[in-house]
Structure 1
Amino acid sequence: MVARWPPGRRHHGCVNLRSKERTIPSVPPARPVIAESWRRALAGGVDPERGRSARALTAEQLAHRRHGSPLAELMPRLREGLRPVIEDDRHVLVVTDADGWVLWQDGSPAVRRRAERLDLHEGAYWGEETVGTNGIGTALVTRRPVQVHAEEHYVRTLRALVCAAAPLHDPRDGRLLGAVNVTGPVASAHPATLPLVTAVAQLAEGELRARHWSSLERLRAVAAPVLARLEGTALAVDGAGWPAAATGTTPPDRVTLPRTPRPGPTWLPALGRCTLEPLPGGWLVRVGSGEAAEPGQLVLDVSGARSWSVRVSGPAGSWTQELSPRHTELLLVLALHPAGRSAAQLAADLFGDPARTVTVRAEMSRLRRTLGGVLAHRPYRFADGVRVEVLRPRTPGELLPFSTAPAIVAARRA
């Protein structure tokens, strides 16, 4: 017999709640990733009977998010990789953006109709803030693949389902792009589903990486004759700051560009005063002879659950850089220890193992190349004269919820 989705009733964000009464959910499951998610849902006031209210996207809003998502070009890869699962009339494929909005849904017409009765449709919101513990929302918060079984769902009307989801990252900078999820009835649960979803997500990220390399090759071909005619130091970088070619210098791993680059004079960390000129597919960065101005203030924004940034200001201007999860952890630990940390101390802070100094030194080297004069070493710390401000979430327990680093866990519980 083919397992069917439960008929269910509408349960969360895309409907109006008739009752404001909150009930206490049953005892949270033992798995740490699920227990932590339940605690976030309870602290956030999610109703375990119906979830919380949130409007669905309009057709125009949905089209806008799809158009701006790098995942649009990966949909053929995701559909093909998961075709054996979604063709059995029991499972639905869902792809969301980094915020948790469902941008695409795929499956047989019958299973899609059953999914829509649970508001699992294009334009719906499936973040933990609305639905509590579920494959999509929990994978987006933890940034790790996760399978949520039946009773592990926080909202009761979802407990006849099993969800397997994996986050999708931009391989260039680790930025969270969204999640791919397969949902079906409990009777269809299989231990191979999560490994399959994870493998398909990794293949999709590999395709993004290959496309990035191809775009850098095209930019390199365009920039080569331009750089050959120049004297001094110059680089050709793509729109995200990844170098394609250089003259007069060894190119850094990445150039931190202004959030909205414009032609003309600017100041870039680690390079100093520069001039930007547009190239097809990127920018020509002409490095001036002046020394880089000393930065004065750094604002580390860790208030979000899924994205974090650092803003540096000084006499020559200001710039903002989105941060990867690891670099966010490192900067927060340094902010918590103004006197500085040795490589062994940072290894213990991040991994619980002071012997992992090679990994720490490599990451700090990348950070120092990106942030220029902001960081010092021996010990690792913020440079003298840099005023540091940390923007934290309102609730301490929501601090970098993806992180399992001992120092972050301790700060979260403080």
Structure 2
Amino acid sequence: MIAASWLRSLRHGVDPDVGRPARPLSTDQIVTRRQGSPLAELMPVVREGLRAVLEDERHVLLVTDAQGWVLWQEGSRQLRRSAERLELAEGAYWGEESAGTNGIAAALATRRPERVHAEEHYVTALRTLDCAAAPLHDPRDGRLLGVVNVTSPASLAHPSTLALVTAITRVAEGELRARHWESVNRLRSIAAPVLARLDGAALAVDASGWPAAATGMVPPDRVPLPRSPQAGTVWLPSLGSCTMEPLPGGWLVRVGTQGPTAPSRVVLDVTGARSWTVTVGGAVGSWSHELSPRHTELLLVLALHPDGRSAAQLAQDLFGDPRRVVTVRAEMSRLRRTVGGVLAHRPYRFADNVSVEVLRPDHPADLLPASTAPAVLAARRDWVGA
């Protein structure tokens, strides 16, 4: 991970002596981003969980958004002043293309907890520091919300800091999950009398597509909704043609209504370094879904092999081990619940009536930069040689 990050930092033109500082956010911009972020309501959880660490004058807490902008900086006053001289300040940008290899950038790239210690930093001025960072995801849709990072002098760093930061992000995600299910329960009580009066299959879902109640059917785990849902007839993955009607806190979805046909176009956007989407379009519009790293890899492999792949081939493509078919089948099952209408199986492939377009980044090395899947590594090499 460190070596690949250094290569990307070099290619981004980051100067090891001074970095490549981005213009910091203004105070108004920081406030605006805080107000629009679910992280704001989780900061009390993060502060309380890391209180013992922050009372130690050797540590600084940085919380960034999903792009890498620092929205909160906390810790001892003395160390905060020292940290600000290194751009460890509110409003600073800590993406890899600006600050090189660092804990925040590493966690953003891999979406996993990462520790970057001393000489592993790309920028010389940061090599006296230790960074322990963990990503924080929205449990409703898996979306990356930001990163929680604790920085300390490298000489005083403790190896357990990363485990603590990771545990706190899990607690914060659990808080979001609990609040989400409270809202789902409220929607269930609202929807129950409505569903009781309906004939046929119908369900109530929240704004993220999570079912609250259903009648005449077994609801899917989650319904991918259009990005900007509106009342009317729409085609939904795993449900087909449906009619959507607004409910307080969600939508009433009536299944099996006459309307649009199955989708005919898929656009897989892998241009980003940290977020990727699939957009499915048809006669009546389109909907988009943000993908996890693993599901992005799967769809990319299927796009590169239009004739399809067996479970063993996908296991080799993703893990370098054709025996891991159980893992592949489980992932494909989850993926088909999201985009099932455009996928076929035996072998796994995109459906015959679907056209597929892959939007790629400008440089081969930026194709899923944190992925180590053999198929992705091969795609980068083939792209260079094309």
What range is the shorter-chain TM-score in?
over 0.9
Look up the equivalent residue of 2:71 and give its one-letter code. Answer: L
Tell me the equivalent position of 1:385.
353
Give the % identical residues.
73
Assess if the C-alpha contact under 8 Å between 1:270 and 1:292 holds in 2.
no
1:192 equivalenced with 2:160 (yes/no): yes
Partner secondary structure for residue 371 of structure 2: coil
Residue 221 (structure 1) aligned to one of 173, 189, 197: 189
Give CA-to-partner distance per residue, 1:310-354, whole Å, 9 cap, x none.
Answer: 111222322211112111111001011111001111112112222
1:71 equivalenced with 2:39 (yes/no): yes
Residue 241 (structure 1) aligned to one of 209, 217, 220: 209
Comparing 261-270 with 79-88, greater Cα deviation is found at 261-270
TM-score under structure 1 normalisation? Answer: 0.89
Tell me the equivalent position of 1:107.
75
Look up the equivalent residue of 1:248 and give its one-letter code. Answer: G
Rounded Cα–Cα distance in structure 2 between residues aligned with 1:411 and 1:85: 43
Partner secondary structure for residue 191 of structure 1: coil
1:284 equivalenced with 2:252 (yes/no): yes
Tell me the equivalent position of 1:258.
226
Look up the equivalent residue of 1:363 and give its one-letter code. Answer: E
Rounded Cα–Cα distance in structure 1 between residues aligned with 2:338 and 2:167: 31
Gaps of 5+ in 2: none
Rounded Cα–Cα distance in structure 1 between residues aligned with 2:291 and 2:116: 28
Please report how far the alpha carbon of residue 292 of structure 1 lies from its aligned counterpart in structure 2 after TM superposition: 5.5
1:316 equivalenced with 2:284 (yes/no): yes
Partner secondary structure for residue 176 of structure 2: helix
Assess if the C-alpha contact under 8 Å between 1:219 and 1:281 holds in 2.
yes
Residue 30 (structure 2) aligned to one of 62, 68, 71: 62
Runs of 4+ in 1 over 6 A off after TM superposition: none
Assess if the C-alpha contact under 8 Å between 1:253 and 1:366 holds in 2.
no
Look up the equivalent residue of 1:274 and give its one-letter code. Answer: C
Comparing 298-307 with 65-74, greater Cα deviation is found at 65-74
Please report how far the alpha carbon of residue 275 of structure 1 lies from its aligned counterpart in structure 2 after TM superposition: 2.1
Rounded Cα–Cα distance in structure 1 between residues aligned with 2:378 and 2:52: 43
Partner secondary structure for residue 296 of structure 2: helix
Tell me the equivalent position of 2:4.
36
Please report how far the alpha carbon of residue 305 of structure 1 lies from its aligned counterpart in structure 2 after TM superposition: 0.7
- What is the correspondence of 1:267-282 to structure 2 with a 5 Å cutoff? 267-282=235-250
Tell me the equivalent position of 1:413.
381
Look up the equivalent residue of 1:362 and give its one-letter code. Answer: A
Partner secondary structure for residue 235 of structure 1: strand
Tell me the equivalent position of 1:160.
128
1:300 equivalenced with 2:271 (yes/no): no
Tell me the equivalent position of 2:53.
85
Rounded Cα–Cα distance in structure 2 between residues aligned with 1:385 and 1:225: 40
Rounded Cα–Cα distance in structure 1 between residues aligned with 2:30 and 2:312: 47
Give CA-to-partner distance per residue, 1:34-75, whole Å, 9 cap, x none.
Answer: 111101100111111111131111122111111111111111
Please report how far the alpha carbon of residue 223 of structure 1 lies from its aligned counterpart in structure 2 after TM superposition: 0.9
Assess if the C-alpha contact under 8 Å between 1:139 and 1:165 holds in 2.
yes
Assess if the C-alpha contact under 8 Å between 1:272 and 1:291 holds in 2.
no
Please report how far the alpha carbon of residue 291 of structure 1 lies from its aligned counterpart in structure 2 after TM superposition: 6.9
Partner secondary structure for residue 206 of structure 1: helix
Comparing 348-357 with 127-136, greater Cα deviation is found at 348-357
1:149 equivalenced with 2:117 (yes/no): yes
1:97 equivalenced with 2:71 (yes/no): no
- Paired residues, what number? 382
Residue 342 (structure 2) aligned to one of 351, 364, 374: 374
- What is the correspondence of 1:124-139 to structure 2 with a 5 Å cutoff? 124-139=92-107
Residue 331 (structure 2) aligned to one of 363, 375, 391: 363
1:209 equivalenced with 2:213 (yes/no): no
Gaps of 5+ in 1: 1-32
Give CA-to-partner distance per residue, 1:252-303, whole Å, 9 cap, x none.
Answer: 1111111011223333233233222221211111224337613221110011
Give CA-to-partner distance per residue, 1:130-189, whole Å, 9 cap, x none.
Answer: 000011111101111111111111111111111111111122332211100001112211
Rounded Cα–Cα distance in structure 1 between residues aligned with 2:246 and 2:293: 31
Assess if the C-alpha contact under 8 Å between 2:260 and 2:283 holds in 1.
no
Partner secondary structure for residue 310 of structure 1: strand
Partner secondary structure for residue 194 of structure 1: helix
- What is the correspondence of 1:397-412 to structure 2 with a 5 Å cutoff? 397-412=365-380
Please report how far the alpha carbon of residue 355 of structure 1 lies from its aligned counterpart in structure 2 after TM superposition: 1.9
Partner secondary structure for residue 104 of structure 2: helix
Rounded Cα–Cα distance in structure 1 between residues aligned with 2:169 and 2:270: 26
Rounded Cα–Cα distance in structure 2 between residues aligned with 1:384 and 1:291: 21
Assess if the C-alpha contact under 8 Å between 1:310 and 1:322 holds in 2.
yes
Rounded Cα–Cα distance in structure 2 between residues aligned with 1:404 and 1:199: 25
